[in-house]
Copies of this chain bind each other. A is one copy, B any other.
Amino acid sequence: MALNPARFLQDLHRLRSFGASGVGKGVVRPAFTAVDIASRQWLASRMQEAGLEVHFDPVGNLFGLNGPKSLLIGSHSDSQPEGGWLDGALGVIAGLEIARASKEDGGPAISVVNFQDEEGRFGILTGSDVWTGQISLAEADALTDTDGLTLGAARARMSGRAREFLPHDMFSGFIEMHIEQGPGMDVSGDQIGVVSDIVGIRETRIRICGRQNHAGTTPMALRQDAFQALSDFNQRINARFGAVATKATVWTLGHAELSPNASSVVPGQARFTLQWRDGDLARLAAMESIVEDVAKDIAQERGVEVEVGPVGGIDPAAMDDRLKAALQQAAHDLAPSKWRDLPSGALHDAANVARVMPTAMLFVPSIGGISHAFDEDTKEEDLIKGLEVLNRAALSL
């Protein structure tokens, strides 16, 4: 029996009944909640029906295995506290349908994976972080959610089903399908995006110390105003980042606090966070240098102190050329002139898996660019197109 889009859509809609929000197609299915565990058990039963070997690892990642060497396809089915029905669920059900169809047809060996806690209830991409060795299970067990529940306590809820961690070398590669979660393809009208790389992130907290003073009696020329320094810093960052940025580069000043934050007081202090994302390590580093330069200039010209905190983040992950080429060819065949290469501005499990095996990703559009919200959606014809492109690429490998 060949690829069955109707069965794929049916399973995808069935999955959203676990933790249905009652608002549109939205879901509330954070990692290790009762509905998350129930949905993983249902998925395991669907894998078993397809002739795949069900395997839960200690951190709750669910695999549907097909033999000692296979291509791995999947994503994650946990959601944000207010999540959309597609997000990672799409990639899991696509993997299930392709593995199932290939098994039925005697095609190539394809396995499925459903990572746990990609949405970072406890960590960052917790399930794939542990499986790929970014952090140890012991470190992960100590992570807590915002209510103080530890991952150790949460994963005990699934301990009856857990077996060992699987070796990476039983998979020839990994392909993840996901919604874009941004407006790019919805605006351009493309149906398929082949991910070139998953961007890296850099983030730092900055503190500007000026001189707190009376807003009526301090002449403009004598002020060391921390907000004015912040505003100036921001304008210069925009100009200088703009000069090195590509169209895909983004930066955000999303958090800022003034002190004492009173209308009649010249602000003495401003604390804020600057984040920037790009697929190129060298560009991320160049932007870091710009931050340091601008901080020095602002301090010198405005007579304030500017402290740039440690710069943390995650390195970009390039996608594998061979897998990417297979996706490009399939997109070219099945969605001619309606596909493009693009970087992923959001983080995905594929960024972790790329460090241990050849990895690629494809995107389908998000209507209105909306994600991590109950009204997240994608046209069914685009979901099916994504499934078909992924299937053709998988069969060609």
Residues 196-218 (chain A) with a chain B CB within 8 angstroms: 199, 201, 203, 212-218
Q: Counting CB contacts under 8 A, is A81 at the interface?
A: yes
CB distance from A181 to the nearest CB of B (A): 4
Q: Counting CB contacts under 8 A, is A234 at the interface?
A: yes
| Given known contacts A199-B216, A275-B215, A258 and B256 CB-to-CB distance under 8 angstroms | yes
Residues 201-257 (chain A) with a chain B CB within 8 angstroms: 201, 203, 212-222, 225, 227-228, 230-231, 234-235, 238, 245, 247-257
Q: How far is the CA of A182 from the CA of B234 in the complex (A)?
A: 29
CB distance from A19 to the nearest CB of B (A): 14
* Residues 170-206 of chain A, each 1 if its beta carbon lies under 8 Å from chain B, else 0: 0000000000111110010000000000010101000
Q: Is the CB of A217 within 8 A of B262?
A: no
Q: How far is the CA of A260 from the CA of B252 in the complex (A)?
A: 13
Q: Is the CB of B252 within 8 A of A256?
A: no
Q: Counting CB contacts under 8 A, is A266 at the interface?
A: yes
Residues of B within 8 A of A187 (CB): 222
CB distance from A56 to the nearest CB of B (A): 25
Q: Is the CB of B247 within 8 A of A219?
A: yes
Q: Is the CB of B254 within 8 A of A371?
A: no
Select which of B212, B217, B262, B267 is within 8 A of A346 by beta carbon.
Answer: B217
Q: Counting CB contacts under 8 A, is A82 at the interface?
A: yes
Q: How far is the CA of A141 from the CA of B150 in the complex (A)?
A: 46
Q: How far is the CA of A203 from the CA of B215 in the complex (A)?
A: 12
Q: Is the CB of A182 within 8 A of B217?
A: yes
Q: How far is the CA of A170 from the CA of B209 in the complex (A)?
A: 48
Residues of B within 8 A of A373 (CB): 212-213, 268
Q: How far is the CA of A275 from the CA of B182 in the complex (A)?
A: 38
Q: Counting CB contacts under 8 A, is A116 at the interface?
A: no
Q: How far is the CA of A274 from the CA of B200 in the complex (A)?
A: 37
Q: How far is the CA of A296 from the CA of B262 in the complex (A)?
A: 25
| Given known contacts A213-B373, A373-B268, A263 and B203 CB-to-CB distance under 8 angstroms | yes
Q: How far is the CA of A195 from the CA of B281 in the complex (A)?
A: 61
Could you show 21 A-B contacts with beta carbons less than 8 Å apart? Answer: A80-B262, A81-B261, A82-B212, A82-B260, A82-B265, A119-B264, A146-B261, A182-B219, A201-B216, A214-B345, A214-B372, A217-B345, A217-B369, A219-B247, A219-B250, A227-B254, A254-B262, A254-B265, A255-B263, A256-B258, A263-B275
Known: A225-B252, A254-B263. 19 other contacts (CB 8 A): A80-B262, A119-B262, A119-B264, A120-B264, A181-B217, A184-B219, A203-B263, A212-B373, A214-B372, A215-B254, A227-B254, A228-B253, A231-B231, A254-B258, A254-B264, A256-B256, A262-B372, A263-B273, A268-B373
